[in-house]
């Protein structure tokens, strides 16, 4: 069964990639989607057997790498943490495959799309089922490659190519630190297998190693480097710039990247390595700081975006910040619980946005929408459910997981803990504000787009509607249904040894603390209602009064412009300098081109002597004879030995 869960998506990808041209797009859709639904069904069985019944699985498949004392095997490790990720990845991926059948109906390259989509899923499964860091890195880079191919799927669009390259390059920055962390682990522990590392980790507490001529704590350094990889893969503050541009890919790709695969890899990795992070308090505080900052920063950017997909993209960055904030204060189970619930409502929001874009002839600008509630009421209802979960409306899945994170950060009484609490609480207010802004601009008021587009607007086909219903059920009930397992009374027996659980627990939660997220959510809703329903001219007045602030948030604090000035432009200048001066003038000028030029100059001079006239040659011979006679006279008539 576990072999099938891992390799069914790969089989689908190979089928679509190798035989798609001969069997046709419909066969590729049926095969890849069917295999994903089978894998999703088996994942739920595995979840019950492993997470509920406690039957962890270890399967060694084949030797992977052997070099000296270094050995690694391709294995399948299924504990509770992996079982949770199998359910998330395969469930969301299967409904995204089904949704794509309708969404990509008119695309001429559907075979390639479904091959990439299934390969994306396989890479993520290889990552979450890994039993060592090398296999994890294989899956880690696999999802990076697949995201590059899918973001740039419409490769004839320059913006899509630029976005794909940007995602790939920014992730390489994080992966450089991640690789250094893996190297450091092998240097210290002599192994890359999880169990070996975790067993030896307590012995390294307080020890130091030399890094860049400094003596630094071993575990702190390793965790800092590992988290650098997570910052890139999960688009956290400072390495977040690729995520909004990833919207250039088809909407189903956005749903898969942002809900279940690539961006969740960093959260999973930190949870998997929690036995190390728990022993590195400074690194853990850094995780909390970056997570809280990301939650606040991305929410401020989402508030002013006009592209419906970019609003949800920045929302993803913000919600990932919640997950890291929870892990940073030691609540790894809470972070994974929010990952679990977030996958449902964020995939739902992206697919609903795709349905809106699909029905409006690919328009993504919310300023040219409006009044869609009466035109596509089913899509409005599905997006309303996703929005309620995202804003943490009481009893929805987002309410259960996100409010618990906010409460947990308050109980960390350190300076970083209190900073984290206030940042995630403010982010909760902003989340409600930008979510209801999206809903009001898109579905309420009068339609602001072309009349012919409105006349042709329609509900999505059943292949797009069924996935929305499945995800809506998860957005509503996943929180209450699984709370007792992830963060409730049964969490110890549920997680067992797969992650580190916080010691003790808090029981006396102040009433104001319980209410604070709901108050923040309500306040955000009321402000959005006032600005976009009751007094719709207020936002225009604010734009005129505070244009610089609006531009600051619209351009996401100008990080792209800052990186362009600090890294991109100097990099281009250096590249041009090395090309024109270093390569062209010095290497080629003094090397091959220079030697060739001198040979040509000499041969041109020699050629001038070859005139073809006999008297010229006779003159040269006379000069030679004269020189020879002169030599004999000077030397006394004999050649010196």
Domain ranges of the chain: 281-557, 562-635
Say how far apart CA 303 and CA 299 lie, in whole Å: 6
pTM strictly above 0.85:
yes
Dihedral sign for Cα 294, 295, 299, 302, please: positive
Give 461-480 pLDDT, tens digit per residue: 888 999 999 999 999 999 99
Question: Over 70: is that where the pLDDT of 35 sits?
Answer: yes
**Would you tell me the crossing angle of helices 377-390 and 462-486 to the nearest 10 degrees?**
20
CA 484 to chain centre: 29
The residue with tokens 């990808």 is 13
Average pLDDT over every residue of 388-413: 93
Residue 377 has pLDDT above 90, yes or no: yes
**Residue 218: which pLDDT band, with cuts at 50, 70 and 90?**
very high
Work out the mean pLDDT of the chain and round it to a whole number. 90
Extract the tokens encoding 216. Answer: 């630094």
Q: How far is CA 585 from CA 570, 571, 597, 602, in A?
A: 20, 20, 13, 21
Instruction: Specify the pLDDT at position 71.
Output: 81
Helix (H) or strand (E) holding 117: helix 110-128
Residue 506 has pLDDT above 60, yes or no: no
pLDDT band at 639 (very low <50, low <70, confident <90, very high): low
Q: CB of 447 within 8 A of CB of 375?
A: yes
Using 50, 70 and 90 to split pLDDT, how confident is the model at 62? confident
């Amino acid at each position: 069964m576990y072999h099938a869960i891992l390799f069914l998506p790969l089989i689908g990808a190979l089928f679509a990639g190798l035989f798609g041209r001969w069997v046709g797009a419909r066969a590729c859709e049926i095969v890849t989607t069917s295999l994903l639904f089978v894998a999703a069904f088996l994942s739920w069985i595995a979840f019950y057997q492993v997470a509920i019944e406690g039957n962890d699985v270890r399967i060694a498949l084949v030797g992977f790498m052997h070099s000296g004392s270094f050995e690694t095997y391709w294995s399948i490790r299924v504990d509770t943490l992996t079982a949770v990720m199998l359910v998330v990845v395969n469930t969301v991926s299967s409904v995204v495959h089904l949704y794509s059948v309708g969404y990509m109906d008119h695309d001429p390259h559907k075979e390639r799309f479904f091959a990439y989509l299934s390969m994306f899923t396989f890479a993520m499964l290889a990552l979450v089922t890994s039993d060592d860091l090398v296999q994890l890195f294989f899956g880690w880079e696999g999802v990076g490659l697949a995201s590059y191919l899918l973001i740039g799927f419409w490769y004839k669009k320059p913006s899509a190519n630029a976005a794909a390259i940007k995602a790939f390059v920014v992730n390489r920055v994080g992966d450089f630190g991640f690789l250094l962390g893996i190297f450091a682990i092998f240097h210290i522990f002599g192994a890359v297998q999880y169990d070996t590392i975790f067993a030896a980790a307590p012995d390294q507490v307080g020890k130091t190693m030399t890094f860049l001529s400094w003596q630094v704590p071993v575990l702190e350094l390793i965790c800092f480097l590992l988290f650098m990889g997570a910052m890139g893969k999960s688009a956290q503050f400072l390495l977040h710039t690729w995520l909004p541009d990833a919207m250039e890919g088809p909407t189903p790709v956005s749903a898969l990247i942002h809900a279940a695969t690539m961006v969740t890899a960093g959260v999973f990795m930190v949870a998997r390595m929690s036995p190390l992070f728990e022993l590195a308090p400074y690194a853990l505080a850094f995780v909390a700081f970056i997570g809280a900052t990301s939650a606040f920063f991305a929410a401020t950017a989402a508030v002013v975006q006009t592209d419906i997909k970019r609003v949800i993209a920045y929302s993803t960055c913000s919600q990932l910040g919640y997950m890291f904030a929870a892990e940073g204060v030691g609540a790894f189970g809470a972070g994974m619980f929010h990952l679990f619930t977030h996958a449902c409502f964020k995939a739902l929001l992206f697919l609903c946005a795709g349905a809106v874009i699909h029905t409006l002839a690919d328009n993504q600008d919310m300023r040219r929408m409006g009044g869609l509630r009466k035109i596509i009421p089913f899509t409005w209802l599905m997006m309303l459910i996703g929005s309620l979960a995202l804003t943490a409306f009481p009893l929805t899945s987002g309410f259960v997981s996100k409010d618990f994170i906010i409460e947990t950060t308050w109980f960390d009484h350190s300076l970083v803990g209190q900073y984290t609490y206030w940042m995630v609480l403010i982010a909760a207010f902003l989340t409600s504000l930008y979510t209801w802004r999206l809903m009001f601009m898109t579905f309420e008021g009068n339609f602001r787009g072309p009349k012919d587009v409105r006349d042709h607007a329609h509900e999505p086909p059943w292949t797009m509607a069924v996935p929305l219903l499945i995800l809506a059920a998860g957005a509503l009930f996943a929180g209450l249904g699984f709370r007792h397992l992830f963060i409730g009374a049964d969490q110890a027996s549920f997680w067992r040894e797969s992650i580190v659980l916080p010691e003790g627990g808090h029981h006396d939660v102040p009433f104001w603390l319980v209410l604070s997220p709901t108050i923040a959510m309500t306040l955000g809703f009321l402000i959005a209602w006032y600005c976009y329903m009751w007094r719709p001219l207020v936002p225009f007045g604010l734009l005129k009064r505070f244009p610089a602030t609006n531009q600051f948030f619209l351009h996401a604090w100008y990080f792209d412009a800052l990186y362009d000035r600090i890294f991109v432009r100097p990099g281009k200048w250096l590249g041009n300098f090395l090309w024109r001066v270093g390569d062209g003038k010095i290497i080629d000028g003094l090397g091959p081109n220079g030697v060739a030029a001198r040979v040509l100059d000499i041969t041109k001079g020699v050629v001038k002597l070859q005139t073809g006239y006999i008297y010229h040659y006779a003159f040269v011979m006379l000069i030679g004879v004269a020189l020879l006679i002169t030599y004999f006279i000077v030397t006394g008539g004999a050649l010196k030995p």
